[in-house]
Every structure is written in structure tokens, then in C-alpha cells.
Structure 1
Amino acid sequence: MPRPERALPVARPRTDAGHAWWWVGVHGGAGVSTLERAVPGGRDAGRAWPVSGGSRSVVLVARSSANGIRAAQNAAQQWASGMVTGIDLLGLVVVADAPGRRPKVLQNLVRLVSGAVPRLWEIPWVEPWRLGESPMAHLPKECAPLARDLTRLTRPV
């Protein structure tokens, strides 16, 4: 696996307890803080791979813009190339960057990147989220399978 053009840093998150997985935004504005409220159970690791004694399960988060998807591709390459170790990458969440259908070129790029991660979840555009309303008050149906999958994947065996 080739090494990515740009790599996410590895850092110790602010807190280490009380969660089952880390949300890792692969770029600024990816939607991590919204997902953290909409899908309870995870913590924001910032834009860095978590190095901690606790959970090392990670969900990458990116917007569906060209820059966001390329940042996700770089993070997936970084993980797959062995540049980060001890991480259980659960998958990638792509959060819509605009209402409506995604352009074909971006859809193809998402499909390409999805082949480099264990799972892909897609969250549609939610206008009330853009306006600052509570994510819990306006949950799209796509959040239910995301929450269910992450709970199942991080449940102790």
C-alpha cells in the first residue's frame, strides 16, 4: 500500500474514558461534533489518530466534497500502509456537504475510497444541522444503522 501524500498526526486525546470508539475527523469541518451528539458512544479524537490506553477503535469522518474524500483516502492509506498501529479501523462516515444528489465524479471517488476501509456509512444533508439545531431533534434514518453497527462492532465479546 503506498504511503499517503498527507498523514494525520498521532496524538493523545483529551480524555480516555467512557466511550466505545473514537471519531477522527480527517479534515476540519468533517462533522465530528455533530456525529458525536447524534450517535452516542464515541468521542472526538480531534484530527489525529488516538494513542491511548483505552479504546483504539476508530471511525473516520469526512465531508463528501472532493477535498474531504481525498483526505479520507489519505487517512485510509496511512492506516493500510502500517504508518499507524494498534488501531481497529471500524470504517468511514461520509457526511453530505450539500443537499441533493452527489456529482458522479464524487460518487465514484467515494466508491473508490470505500474499498480501502472496512465499512462505509453515508449521512445525507440535514438542513437543520446547518442551522445549528440539535442533531438529536433531526436524525436522518441513516444514523440508526450507523449507531447499531458501531454498538455491535464495539461490544465486548
Structure 2
Amino acid sequence: MQQSLNPWITNPASDSANEEAPDAHVPPSAVISEPLRGMVEPDTADRLARRTVSGSAALWITGTHGGAGESRIADLLDGARVTDHCWPVLPDGSTPRVLLVCRADMRGLTTARNALTQWASGAAPTLDLLGLAVLADAPGKSPKALRDFAAIVGGGAPRLWTLPWVEAWRHGDSTTPPLPREYQRFITDVAALATGTAPATTN
């Protein structure tokens, strides 16, 4: 099986022979786990602000835009708190664990790409970025163009979770079981990462 190459760290033009389907697994060697030398930071208007947060949390949830699902995801994860769409800075200087969240529409994915570019360029504060969670913005299957764009954007994160629409949440029900299996796996993955018991990075 041919391995796909991450466009964030590989020149697609020089490696076109190794391309495969957009939903192919990205090998760990092509995962971005820390800022990249030479990455150009986004314009000031496209960057997330920094905010000093009080208290403690096992995990900080940062929505890359309004309506990203920041609070919803924080409600699902023990010990998680929201940052109100800002990079968290801890008063004691310690390194926060952060999960980025966005919606699966063009606006959401674009803001996620900007946030990941800011982080990869070293323009974000020091933090441990666990990955990006992309929440469906509507019922049904997302259009192929958006699915492809989400895969590209997710290539700039250490991990990518693509999460489906939950109809009950439209009516304000945050506790109806069972959650879709994608959410169950996501919660298990993130809990392990937040406590430092997760296996090797996957995308």
C-alpha cells in the first residue's frame, strides 16, 4: 500500500507518485507534533488571541471560531475547561494541554487552518497541542470538497478527530445516551492523552 504524504511538511509536486485516496491513513512519520522551522505565521487578523486563564484543568478546549462547539466538547470530557476562543496562558508558566475544535464548514475549517498555522509557526504561546476535533455542522454526510479540505487542515495537527452530527444536541439535550461510536472513541482517546497514558500519535 502506498503511503500518503502530509502537504504541510511535504512538497506534493515532487511526490505525486506517492499520492493515494484522501481518506488514507497518514503514517506517524508525517504527523506534525511540534512547531515547524520555516513555517510562516498568519496575518495578525487571522491569529487567535492569548488569554491568561485562572484555575486548573486537565485539558483546555479552544474553539477556533464562535459556534465551534467548544463548550459542548468540554462538557463531554472530565477535567476540561473552555478558553473562549483564545490560546490559554497559565499564570504559573506551566504548559497547558490544548485541544482545538472547529465546525466542518468552510469558515470553521479555515479558522482551524489559521490556528494550526499560528501554532506550527511558533507564534502561539507554549502549549501541548493534542489535536483538532472537527464537528459536523449539519446532519448527513459532509460534501466531498469539505471532507477533502478537513483532511488537509487536519494534516497540520498532531491528531484529527472527525465527529458526526448529534441531533439531540439541537434540542439542548447534552446527556442522551448512547453517543455515536465516533464520540465514544474520541472521549477515550482524549482522556488517555490528557492523562499521559495514550499510545503513539495517530492521525
TM-score > 0.5 by shorter chain: yes
Per-residue deviation, 1:149: 1.5
In 2, Cα distance between equivalents of 1:44 and 1:107? 26
1:9 corresponds, among 49, 53, 62, to 49
In 2, Cα distance between equivalents of 1:121 and 1:65? 15
Report what 1:142 is aligned to. 182
What 5-or-longer segments of structure 2 have no aligned partner?
A: 1-38, 198-203
Report what 1:56 is aligned to. 96
Larger-gyration structure (1/2): 2
TM-score (norm 1): 0.91
Correspondence 1:120-135 to 2 at 5 A: 120-134=160-174
Per-residue deviation, 1:3: 1.5
Tell me the secondary structure at the aligned position of residue 99 of structure 2: strand
What 5-or-longer segments of structure 1 have no aligned partner?
A: none
Per-residue deviation, 1:32: 1.1
Per-residue deviation, 1:91: 0.2
Q: Tell me the number of residue pairs that the alignment of Structure 1 and Structure 2 aligns.
A: 154
Tell me the amino acid that sits aligned with residue 67 of structure 2.
Answer: G
Range with greater deviation from structure 2 (68-77 or 78-87) = 78-87
2:60 corresponds, among 19, 22, 38, to 22
Correspondence 1:66-105 to 2 at 5 A: 66-105=106-145
The percent identity for this pair of structures is: 41
- Say what the alpha-carbon RMSD is for the aligned residues: 1.5
Report what 2:27 is aligned to. none
